[in-house]
Amino acid sequence: MADQDAPAAGARPHQRDLTTGPIGKTLLAFAIPTLGSSIVQSLNASINSIWVGRLLGEEALAATANANMVWFVLIAFTFGFSMATSILIGQAWGRRDVEGARRVLGTAVTFFFGVGILVLIAGELAAPDLLRLLGTPGEALPLAATYLRTFLLGTPAAVVLVALSMALRGSGDSVTPLYFMLLAAALDVVLNPLLIAGIGPFPALGIAGAGYATAIANWVALTGLILFAYARRLPLTLGGRDLRFLVPDRGQLGTIMGKGLPMGLQMIVISVSSLAMIGLVNAQGVETAAAYGVTMQLWAYVQMPAMAFGAAVSAMAAQNIGAGRWDRVDRITRIAIIQVTVITAALIGLFILFEKPALGLFLGMDSPALPIAIRIQWIATWSFLMFGLVLVLFGTVRAAGAVVAPLLILAVGLIPVRLGFAGGAQGWLGSDAIWWSFPVGTIVNLVLAWLYYRSGRWRKAKMAPTT
């Protein structure tokens, strides 16, 4: 049932009605804060790695890298669940069904907090075993276990914070999540050296201090977001009789898990493909491995616009689908394709223009790995233009509830095609086969994604009703 008190467009400074107005301007204004959140998180991780490496050394840096990978595997599915939450809320918001959106939010908050607690307990009990499964070097294992156990203390807050951020984006607010990503990152960056080295009144906790810093930052940011929501009376805020929505609704929970699982599996597919690719690269020798590692640092930033616009398209399309504005959905997709192509092309051009100093910053201008890194960039980096188009198409079809086809398309492009080409074509391309596998796999993904989008089958998919 639609809520008569549904907020009008512009009723809140950061709340956008994504079903009306000029699509290009609205989409860009909505996507930029999402892109900002991704940049903040990446910079936060990079700066924390610098602190750990400089203050504790290479063993500690390796320990945190391994522990972070274990943590990522443990929570990978929550990304899919949070995306499903965002789409459900977006569709409800498009129908002006505020009560339905709040019902989804209440179920999601309780579910994500429960998942966070389970991950915390499992990680605390099995930290050393999980790290051994990953192949963590023996000398780094005790440090990694210590870091993981302290880092895990912030997991319930971290997953709920992500869920609330995705929920807000589903309701048309991408700015408020950026504020609290900034808060979490700033606290993390400041607390890391204080707790690692024991500066001022703070205890010297070593690598445990790095874990505690992140955990504290997540809990403070989550608390701040909740207080802000109530102080500003954000439309999704649960109060009074709406607090009953914190008792999970079986139907909503089933949809979040059923639709979120395939999206979470995509993170697993990406991780498996990445690990296998690293194995192929390592077989080429240490210089090639170093060159690839540095190139990946730059690629992390090149692909950010694609990820931000994919998420923005998903939220915007979901609202319009909920409002029955199918005429706008195709236009949103077309405009997003243009915008993400222009922004990604500009970034790639910038990196190519300054490739030697950018890569040399990590490797040194005299490094024998530098020419290899430059070759990798010239062969593979342009494929991220197509990757952006794939994520925009995926964002649109997911907004309707079609989540299995994107998973299958991604799996085909990344595993049999990319990995198959990287390994099978080395007989005639040498190590270049690994780098050419990126555009080859992405072309296959793009063709399949476009064919599925054009077929229109995704329009028949359904998310569970929010009432």
pLDDT digits over 47-83, tens only?
877 788 778 876 777 777 777 777 877 787 788 899 9
Structural domain includes residue 13: no
Span 80-109, pLDDT tens digits: 899 999 999 999 998 889 999 999 999 999
93 or 9, which is more confident?
A: 93
Structural domain includes residue 1: no
227 and 271 in a single domain? The answer is no
Strand, coil or helix: 18: coil
- Give the residue from 7, 322, 14 showing the smallest Cα distance to 165: 14
Structural domain includes residue 15: no
Taking CA 267 as the corner, what is the angle to CA 332 and CA 52, rounded to the nearest 5 degrees?
Answer: 110
Share above pLDDT 90 across residues of the chain, in percent, rounded to a whole number: 48
Distance in angstroms (rounded) separating the CA atoms of residues 408 and 11:
40
337 and 243 in a single domain? The answer is no
Structural domain includes residue 359: yes
Distance in angstroms (rounded) separating the CA atoms of residues 308 and 35:
5
Structural domain includes residue 377: yes
Q: What is the mean pLDDT of the chain?
A: 87
295 and 397 in a single domain? The answer is yes
Backbone phi, psi, residue 85, to 5°: -60, -45
Last residue of a domain, one of 248, 281, 312: 248
Distance in angstroms (rounded) separating the CA atoms of residues 392 and 71:
28
152 and 244 in a single domain? The answer is yes
pLDDT over 60 (residue 2):
no
For residue 227, the tally of other CB atoms under 10 A from its CB is: 10
The pTM of the full predicted model, rounded to 2 decimals, is 0.84
Span 283-339, pLDDT tens digits: 888 788 778 877 887 888 888 999 999 999 999 999 999 998 998 999 999 999 999
Quote the pLDDT of residue 1. Answer: 38
CA 464 to chain CA mean position, Å: 24
Q: Which domain holds residue 364?
A: 260-467
pLDDT over 50 (residue 6):
no
286 and 183 in a single domain? The answer is no
432, two tokens:
């270049």
- Give the residue from 245, 251, 225 showing the smallest Cα distance to 99: 245
Structural domain includes residue 11: no
215 and 102 in a single domain? The answer is yes
Span 399-419, pLDDT tens digits: 999 999 999 999 999 999 999
Give the position of tokens 């060159």. 291
Q: What share of the chain is helix, strand, coil (3-state, %, to 5)?
A: 80, 0, 20
Distance in angstroms (rounded) separating the CA atoms of residues 97 and 42:
35
- Between the alpha carbon of residue 318 and those of residues 57, 172, 229, 354, 397, the distances in Å are 47, 10, 23, 39, 9
Q: Predicted confidence band at 5 (pLDDT cuts at 50, 70, 90)?
A: very low
268 and 119 in a single domain? The answer is no
Q: Is 247 exposed, middle or buried, given 0-12, 13-18 or 19+ CB atoms closer than 10 A?
A: exposed
Last residue of a domain, one of 225, 248, 271: 248
Least confident of 249-253, 292-296, 383-387, 422-426: 292-296
Q: Predicted confidence band at 194 (pLDDT cuts at 50, 70, 90)?
A: very high
Quote the pLDDT of residue 75. Answer: 81
Domain count, the chain: 2
Span 359-401, pLDDT tens digits: 776 666 777 888 888 899 899 999 999 999 999 999 999 999 9
Least confident of 13-17, 323-327, 452-456: 13-17
Quote the pLDDT of residue 103. Answer: 93
Share above pLDDT 70 across residues of the chain, in percent, rounded to a whole number: 94
286 and 201 in a single domain? The answer is no
193 and 119 in a single domain? The answer is yes
Backbone phi, psi, residue 9, to 5°: -60, 135
Structural domain includes residue 44: yes
355 and 462 in a single domain? The answer is yes
251, two tokens:
């139907």
Q: Predicted confidence band at 433 (pLDDT cuts at 50, 70, 90)?
A: very high
Quote the pLDDT of residue 14. Answer: 62
226 and 289 in a single domain? The answer is no
Whether the Cβ atoms of residue 313 and residue 278 lie closer than 8 Å to each other: no
88 and 196 in a single domain? The answer is yes
Q: Predicted confidence band at 466 (pLDDT cuts at 50, 70, 90)?
A: very low
Structural domain includes residue 8: no
Last residue of a domain, one of 188, 217, 248: 248
